[in-house]
């Protein structure tokens, strides 16, 4: 009888832990090194833009779906003046969103570029993660490392914790046996780190797939980005950590 009671208690405890890890909000900070990607011939640009572009993002999730999006109200444009010439530099995090239908493994992304919104729909692809041996602690959680090279030949390194059994992370990074708390892209060109983990029931319609925008394939969108960045003399950072930088004399 005691054995049955222990089993029931263990099942109830596991059910509680599982339910706790099924719904919540994760806040991330994305930090982009703006200076590392400026070509040597455009060295003067470093004098008029900050070294880092920082933005906040949230990942909302429940057992059926998830949504990763920017928090634009926390991003402020700024102005900078120089002698005899006024330059207005605006850094605006674009209203990008990544929606995942977890049951159907379908992704819908809304990306903004040059003032226009685009919708990209695709199957959730398996990421070829290679598990590492490094470990470190993030917000009190023991994290393990994993890495892979994406289609743009960027080196992606993630830190995930098996203490939170949610196979999700920032942007489109997923597929590890635990929540991804930190991502480093190309040796810290871009760092996405967790600020806050909040377990709470989500409000009705707090997660919904983006609908506004011109439908376009992922390949067409990337080609458009690369073409425009090449014309501007700036190397594309890729990913969903989009930003718009405008310099006006």
- According to DSSP, the residues that pair with 247 across neighbouring strands are 89
Using CB atoms within 10 Å of the CB of residue 171, give its burial: 0 to 12 exposed, 13 to 18 middle, 19+ buried.
buried
Which pair of tokens denotes residue 90?
Answer: 């605006």
Number of C-alpha atoms within 13 angstroms, CB side, residue 124? Answer: 19
Angle at 188 between CA 184 and CA 189, to 5 degrees: 110
State phi, psi for 11 to the nearest 5 degrees: -65, -40
Task: Specify the residue for token string 């993630």.
Answer: 158
Domain regions of the chain by residue span: 2-248
44 φψ region: left (φ > 0), alpha (ψ -120 to 50), beta (else): alpha
Going residue by residue through the chain, which has 249 residues, state the pLDDT in tens, using 9 for 90 and above.
444 444 333 334 434 444 445 899 999 999 998 887 777 777 777 777 888 888 899 999 999 999 999 986 544 444 444 444 434 444 444 578 999 999 999 999 999 888 899 999 999 999 999 999 999 999 999 999 999 999 889 999 999 999 999 999 999 999 999 999 999 999 999 999 999 999 999 998 899 999 989 999 988 988 888 887 777 655 555 555 554 444 444
Give 5's contacts (C-beta < 8 A, 6+ positions apart): none
């Amino acid at each position: 009888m005691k054995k049955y009671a222990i089993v029931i208690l263990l099942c109830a405890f596991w059910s509680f832990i599982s339910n706790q890890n099924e719904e919540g909000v994760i806040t991330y900070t994305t930090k982009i090194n703006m200076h590392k990607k400026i070509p040597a011939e455009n060295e003067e640009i470093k004098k008029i833009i900050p070294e880092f572009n920082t933005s906040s993002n949230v990942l909302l999730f429940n057992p059926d779906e998830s949504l990763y999006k920017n928090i634009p109200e926390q991003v402020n444009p700024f102005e900078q003046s120089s002698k005899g010439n006024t330059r207005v530099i605006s850094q605006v995090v674009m209203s990008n969103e990544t929606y995942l239908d977890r049951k159907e493994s379908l992704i819908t992304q809304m990306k903004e570029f040059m003032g226009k919104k685009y919708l990209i729909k695709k199957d959730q692809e398996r990421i070829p993660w290679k598990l590492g041996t490094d470990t470190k602690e993030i917000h009190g959680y023991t994290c393990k490392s994993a890495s892979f090279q994406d289609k743009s030949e960027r080196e992606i390194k993630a830190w995930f914790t098996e203490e939170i059994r949610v196979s999700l992370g920032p942007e489109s990074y997923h597929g590890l046996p635990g929540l991804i708390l930190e991502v480093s892209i190309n040796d810290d060109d871009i760092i996405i780190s967790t600020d806050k983990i909040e377990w709470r029931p989500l409000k009705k319609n707090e997660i919904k797939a983006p609908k506004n925008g011109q439908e376009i394939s992922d390949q067409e969108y990337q080609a458009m980005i690369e073409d425009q960045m090449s014309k501007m003399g700036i190397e594309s950072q890729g990913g969903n950590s989009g930003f718009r930088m405008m310099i006006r004399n």
